[in-house]
Structure 1
Amino acid sequence: MESSSDIVSTLVNENSKENFLSASDILIKFANNILNNPDEPKYRKIRIGNPAVQSKLLNSVGAMECLFLMGFEEAEDGEHLTLPNGKSLHPVRSIRDGLMQELAKLQTPQRHEQIQPGVRHNLSQNPSEGQRLSQLMASEIEFSGRIRDGMRRVLQYENPTIQEKARQTIPLESLQVEADKNLKSAQAKGESKQDIRDFLLLALLKWFKYTFFKWVDTLPCNRCGGATQHNGSVQPSSDDLRWGASRVEAHICRICQVNTRFPRYTNPEKLLDTRKGRCGEWADCFTLCCRALGFEARFIMDWTDHVWTEVYSNSRSRWLHCDPCENICDKPLLYESGWGKKLTYAIAVSKDEVQDVTWRYSAKHQELLSRRRLCREPWLRQTIHSIWKKQISTLPQQRQKELWIRLLCELTEFICIKTDDENLPGRSTGSLAWRQARGELGNSASTGTTPNSNNSNNNGFVFTPSARERESEIIHVRYNSADNKYLRKSSGDEELLGWDSCVYEQKNIFWKEEPDWKMVYLARCEGSNSAEITWKFDLTGTDLRIGKMELKAQTSVFENGNISWRICASDNCFMQSDASLQDSMTFDLKGSKTLTLTAVLRGGKGANAWQHTQLFRQSSGDKDCYPFDIKLMLN
């Protein structure tokens, strides 16, 4: 039998450099998976029909022989190769090390060009430095593999059948109505830089966050519906693997001790059905929805454990940062400035291209650069640009030209360092303990309060009477926590999604769902001492005034929590207790032109004090009850 060095030499000498690099990339990946996870059965089984095996190994002389020399055998089904348990892993390590040595030889000229002469002399005198560089090059191979995995991942979004399924799921007509309304409002204010597609994107983002997708810390118990906690991982089933869930979490019930399985799906088609997960699932499904509506979208892989989406805006001629978990658009400094993340690499991948976009997300380029230690910067630039050129080479000339222009504009954007002068929030998704452990509370970590957990783009909303409301002389607005939407009955039953879509001002408020109790409500952000939320009505510019107000605002308080209401009609303000508003109450506002209604939340005991003041608490299945109901009689 040939030795490992002989078969590696065959792979090097009998193939083109490109074929060798492709084959060695996947062989090293297979080997590392086995060596790092020797007891994991899934890494000991390779499907011969796997596209990577077909394109990278079968077409390269000596590649399949490398697998057989590692110890892989043909399975009885004829469709897989398997590495039996009990086989020595020494041949696996030997093949892996031999391939890495040959890769190092191929890259030696490039490395020498990048190393100063004095340092190059030290390499020959200092074997430990050579070992460090060898480790760095192994890291670069792994880095390159992750980029290529991401490029394969985004191809799922291009499946026409899956895109059609997404379009059938998205309430496009209502989103277009909302986008058109917001565009006209922006144009009336002289904000004309955005077009209807930008506003459609914002409507899609809000719908996805507040109506469609759900965040998962732990799942409720499948048996009794009780609260669960993390209990490690379990083996994925064949159906899990079919939908890309190679990792399955176990959530154990605190009451009946039964494990509930949480497969971490990476298939966007499956996510259209499950509609839940963490940032990976959110970004996968949201990017698919963007592509289904014809947006150019990129999946962003962050090396500090987060993912999100970028969408290209034709009106602005640039890429917009979109985080569906947070309902935040075009706030790229959110992670560094708001969450307090120490960014390293953020790589964008799409069906057409790949790009290092880290610089968009930082105002501290030198500090960021000092943390980038997984690969050499010249290597990363060359690798990404080489992949980028190969990707676009198959596109029509006009499209290639368009992407070249975009690239130049994007690189120019990266050179201009952003000003870090925004007061951006810390992370809102996930439990407080989880966010604290990740260090993503931002400034709240030192102040003990949680910043505003939602995009401030929706603040500043003012109710002004529509033509129908002026004619009927009534403004009637309701809010349902279960659907998380407002119903403006006096304006043709107009629906507005999201608790903050009609809010004038708010501080430390968020929408809370309790899966175990099946309840929803508005609450103070976790860790905050107080919170406020304000709705505003303005009749200025009309010949109408507010005569009377009927108000119902159902709330729940626990321990020593306290909710009070501040009502300001023109310049006259007074306070009202929450108890008096559990049922509808009428107020004489004496012909005021403006009205602001503010809920003030304070008090509570212990670590859960934030949860002891709840606005509009109701069952998550109650779609017909409106715990917040305000009606203004005009004259």
Structure 2
Amino acid sequence: MEPTDDIVSTLVKENSKEDFLSASGILIKFADNILTNPHEPKYRKIRIGNPAVQSKLLNFVGAMECLFIMGFEEAEDGEHLTLSDDKSLQPLRNVRDGLMREQTKIQTPQQHQEIPQGARQRLLPNLSPARSFQMPSETNFAARIGDGMRRVLRYEDPNVQEKARQAIPVDKLLSEAESSFKAAQAKGESTSDQRDFLLLGLLKWFKFTFFKWVDTLPCSQCGGATQHNGSLQPTTEDLRWGAGRVEAHMCKVCHINTRFPRYTNAEKLLETRRGRCGEWADCFTLCCRALGFEARFVMDWTDHVWTEVYSNSKSRWLHCDPCENICDKPLLYESGWGKKLTYAIAVSKDEVQDVSWRYSANHREMLSRRTLCREPWLRRTIHSLWRKQIATLPQERQKELWTRLLCELSDFICVKSSDENLPGRSTGSLAWRQARGELGHGTAAQVSADVCASNNAGFVFTPTERERESEIMHVVYNCSTDRYLRKSSADEILSGWEKCVFGCKHVFRKEELDWKMAYLARTEGSSEAEITWKFDLNGTDLRIGKMELKAQTTVFENGKVSWKICGEDACFTPAAASLQDFMTFDLKGSKMLTVTAVLQHGKGGNAWQHTQLFRQALSETDSYPFYIKLMLN
């Protein structure tokens, strides 16, 4: 089958008759405009944000692929598709003719009873419940909801869920969740259950270990920096996994294009483990379902997506943004990023809900921007779809969902406070975030991801009774297992690099699953990072005599790591190279000690990777690249 026939067939088979006619109508219009006016530039440029594109093409399987087969490519600004003057119009003519043939078949009387049904369509309810008069934009709105409902059904495949569980370190996350839950219980601080802590662990693992944000990909040939260079034609394999768009990233050195298919299938994303917010939310929602969480995929009409997870302990849905490693901060987008929200629709295998009100502290202002559809129509449509979704469920489950619905609608009535100081967006290049207006109210430095800001910065090592008796404090850290071992205190284990940090800025732990290495590094986009450990003997009759220190570092290009060791009366600034093995310092009776590392410089878009602390293979579980031993007197 020719590519043209293949993609037209996909558009017919994978969408309902109404959806095919809607999508093919606008595609034929685009084609006719160009064929009738071949030298008119305005017809060769399509804005991706165009409502017709958003609602009639992006939401239907195969529609955007038709544009690429016609010859359209993504412009450098990332906001338009263009058909260059030197492209042949024959592919465009072929797609148009194929669409028109299929329209004729569907619209003939003998075909009226046959509605093409893709595998996904058979599982769905009628997505146009309000059959009285509908505005065109309302029809498009319902179509996008339908696309979301098709998407979440993919998460329910048992084989796909098992594939996700194989990728997730389930035992490790369960163990850490149990420890965190018990610690919170002991302090009387927790209103959560162990599953909530598991969710937080999954979110953190997904952000800092599993998935990678893509601005541009490194060159597939030389590994050098690349820049956007339009689009490439998707292959049959790309289309199989929903990648109707394939970005071309051209190397600045060897000038070859590296392909970046924009996959929309979560199973494939378990393998590629990279993308932007769409890929992140898609894959993360699948991971949540694989661990048994009730999860929703949330579509935002101002160009973002995220996940909601139901917490049994809190009896409500929790907002989860895997790109940001943020949980239960629903005002993040409006108050932090500065987004002007309109609609946010959540879909799951069991239900669909307009959750916009959860994400705004100014309902009246948001309501004034909701102009795509009539509010009564939207309420009827959402509720009708919701009831059809739950109609096939057991009575007990239906009762549970009705109770949840009433609680959720009551919660929406209460407008939330926006007093909390929330950050701007941290993922994506600075220029990209600036262009989208999502930096929020802070500076670029303030919005860079800072793991310590939301964790346990402020930790101070003070001597235990055993350490006072032995007059030794001995702490080591293994980056592979991400654990501290307090050897001088009965080999006490503390999990998590940040758990023993006094202060830090723009630092996170990175696992390279391809190279099987782990290290601490600067957060992507930051120009400098800093991390400090502190020891304090005040309140005891002991002082620090000497210290042995090993702090292994790895740098690339012009990256630089600087160390500073400070007692009460003096500071040392040893060269990083001298700390690759043990070095001894005389603290001369200090009661306090800080050890600080500063990470700077590096080149290009991967500069953040050019300064690394404690890099070691994931298999090295018994060696310690960070070692501090204090001799007390």
Among candidates 141, 159, 162, match of residue 161 of structure 1: 159
- What residue number does 1:579 align with? 575
Give the CA deviation at 1:292: 1.0
What's the offset of the Cα at 1:241?
Answer: 1.5
Equivalent residues in 2 for 1:442-457, closer than 5 Å:
442-444=440-442, 447=443, 449-454=445-450, 456-457=453-454
1:329 aligns with 2:339: no
- Per the alignment, do residues 246 and 318 of structure 1 end up closer, same or farther by CA in structure 2, a change over 3 Å counting? same
Q: 1:188-239: per-residue Cα shift (whole Å, max 9, x none)? A: 2211201111111111111112222222221121222221111111111111
Post-superposition shift, 1:487? 4.5
Match of 1:267 among 265, 268, 283: 265
Tell me the residue number matched to 1:379: 377
Kindly indicate whether the alpha-carbon contact (under 8 Å) linking 1:326 and 1:454 is maintained by their aligned counterparts in 2: no
Shift of 1:300: 1.1
Q: Do the aligned partners of 2:509 and 2:518 also contact (CA within 8 Å) in 1?
A: no
- Cα distance, 1:317 vs structure 2: 0.7
Q: What RMSD, in angstroms, separates the aligned Cα atoms of the two structures? A: 4.5
Give the C-alpha shift of residue 448 in structure 1. 5.2
Instruction: Verify the 8 A CA contact 1:496 1:502 in the aligned structure 2.
Output: no
Letter in 1 for 2:456: N
- Compare 301-310 and 387-396 and name the one that shifted more: 301-310
| CA deviation after TM superposition for structure 1 residue 452, in Å | 4.9
Kindly state the Cα deviation for residue 502 of structure 1 after the two structures are TM-superposed: 4.1
In the TM superposition, residue 147 of structure 1 has moved relative to its aligned partner by 0.7
Q: Tell me the residue number matched to 1:116.
A: none
Shift of 1:91: 9.4
Structure 1: gaps (5+ residues):
1-20, 41-50, 54-81, 109-133
1:31 aligns with 2:25: yes
Contact 2:336 2:441 in 1 (8 A): yes
In structure 1, what is the Cα distance between the partners aligned to 2:459 and 2:187?
13
Distance 1:240 1:605 in 2: 34
C-alpha displacement at 1:612, in angstroms? 12
1:501, CA displacement in angstroms? 4.8
CA distance in 2, matches of 1:438, 1:401: 42
Supply the distance in 2 between the matched residues of 1:145 and 1:277 (Cα, whole angstroms): 25
Q: 1:539 to 1:305 in 2, by over 3 A?
A: farther
Match of 2:547 among 546, 549, 567: 549
CA shift for structure 1 position 299:
0.9
Worse-matched range after superposition: 284-293 or 517-526: 517-526
* Map of 1:71 onto structure 2: none
Unmatched 5+ stretches in structure 2: 1-14, 35-43, 45-59, 63-91, 113-127
Question: How far off is 1:423 after superposition?
Answer: 2.0
Checking the alignment, whether the CA contact within 8 Å between 1:462 and 1:537 is kept in structure 2 is no
Shift of 1:257: 1.0
How far did residue 260 of structure 1 move? 1.0
Matched, 1:278 2:303: no
Which whole-Å CA distance do the structure 1 matches of 2:588 and 2:183 have between them?
30
Q: What SS is found at the alignment partner of 1:266?
A: coil
Task: Work out the CA distance in 2 between the residues paired with 1:274 and 1:608.
Answer: 20
Residues 543 and 527 of structure 1: is their aligned pair in 2 closer, same or farther, counting only changes over 3 Å?
Answer: closer
Alpha carbons of 1:527 and 1:163: their partners in 2 closer, same or farther (altered >3 Å)? closer
CA deviations on 1:294-345 (whole Å, 9 max, x unpaired) are 1111111112222111111111111111111221111112222222222222
- Kept in 1: contact 2:24–2:99 (CA 8 A): no
Match of 1:344 in 2: 342
Task: Quote the Cα distance in structure 1 between the aligned partners of 2:154 and 2:284.
Answer: 13
Q: CA deviation at 1:553?
A: 4.0
Between 538-547 and 369-378, the greater mean CA deviation after superposition: 538-547
Deviations 1:371-401 (A, max 9, x none): 2222222221111111111111111111111
Aligned to 1:410: 408
Aligned residues of 2:530 and 2:599 also touching (Cα < 8 A): yes
Write the distance in 1 (CA, Å) between the matches of 2:475 and 2:203: 27
- Aligned counterpart for 1:460 among listed residues 453, 457, 462: 457
Partner of 1:240: 238
Matched, 1:87 2:97: yes
> Deviation at 1:486?
4.4
Q: 2:610 and 2:257 mapped to 1: Cα distance?
A: 32
Q: CA deviation at 1:551?
A: 2.6
Q: Please state how far the C-alpha of 1:632 moved relative to its aligned partner.
A: 4.3
CA change 1:307–1:451 in 2 (3 A) is same
Letter in 2 for 1:450: Q
Question: What corresponds to 1:477 in structure 2?
Answer: 476
Q: C-alpha separation between the residues in 1 aligned to 2:268 and 2:611?
A: 34
Partner of 1:67: none
1:521 Cα deviation (Å)?
A: 5.5
In structure 1, C-alpha distance between the alignment counterparts of 2:559 and 2:153, rounded to whole Å: 54
Matches within 5 A, 1:150-549: 150-444=148-442, 447=443, 449-454=445-450, 456-460=453-457, 462=459, 474-478=473-477, 480=479, 485-488=482-485, 490=487, 496-497=495-496, 500-509=498-507, 522-523=521-522, 526=525, 532-537=530-535, 548-549=546-547
Cα distance in 2, alignment partners of residues 442 and 27 from structure 1: 41
Report the Cα distance in structure 1 between the residues aligned to 2:608 and 2:271, rounded to whole angstroms: 31
**Does the 8 Å contact 1:559/1:612 carry over to 2?**
no
- The 3-state SS of whatever aligns with 1:304 is coil
Matched residues, number: 535
2:159 & 2:226 partners in 1: Cα distance? 36
Q: Cα offset for 1:531?
A: 5.5
Mark the CA change 1:520 to 1:340 in structure 2 (over 3 Å): closer, same or farther: farther
Tell me the distance in 1 between the aligned counterparts of 2:228 and 2:136. Answer: 33
Report Cα offsets for 1:404-426 as digits up to 9, x if no partner.
11111111221211111222222
Letter in 2 for 1:565: K
Alignment match, 2:123: none
Is the CA contact 2:238–2:261 (under 8 Å) kept in the aligned structure 1?
yes
Aligned to 1:124: none
Aligned residues of 1:249 and 1:262 also touching (Cα < 8 A):
yes
Q: Indicate the SS of the match to 1:225.
A: coil
1:508 CA drift (Å): 4.4
CA distance in 2, matches of 1:520, 1:368: 43
Cα distance per residue 1:424-448 (max 9 Å; x no partner): 222222222222222221123xx45
Q: What is the one-letter code of the residue matched to 1:156?
A: R
Measure, in 1, the Cα distance between the counterparts of 2:222 and 2:396: 59
Give the conservation status (yes or no) of the 8 Å contact 1:548–1:587. Answer: yes
1:206 touches 1:327 (CA, 8 Å); kept in 2?
Answer: yes
Q: Please tell me whether the aligned partners of residues 477 and 489 of structure 1 are also in contact (alpha carbons under 8 angstroms).
A: yes
Deviation at 1:261, TM superposition (A): 0.8
**Structure 2: distance between partners of 1:236 and 1:493:** 54
What secondary structure is seen at the aligned counterpart in 2 of 1:375? coil
Kindly provide the amino acid, as one letter, of the partner of residue 613 in structure 2.
F
- Residues in 2 aligned to 1:542 and 1:203: alpha-carbon distance in whole angstroms: 37
Note the C-alpha offset of 1:140: 1.3
Quote how far apart the aligned CAs of 1:158 are: 0.8
Partner of residue 57, structure 1: none
Q: Determine if contact 2:208/2:511 at 8 Å carries over to the other structure.
A: no
For 1:338, what is the secondary structure of its paired residue? helix
State the partner residue of 1:616.
613
TM-score, scaled relative to structure 1 = 0.72
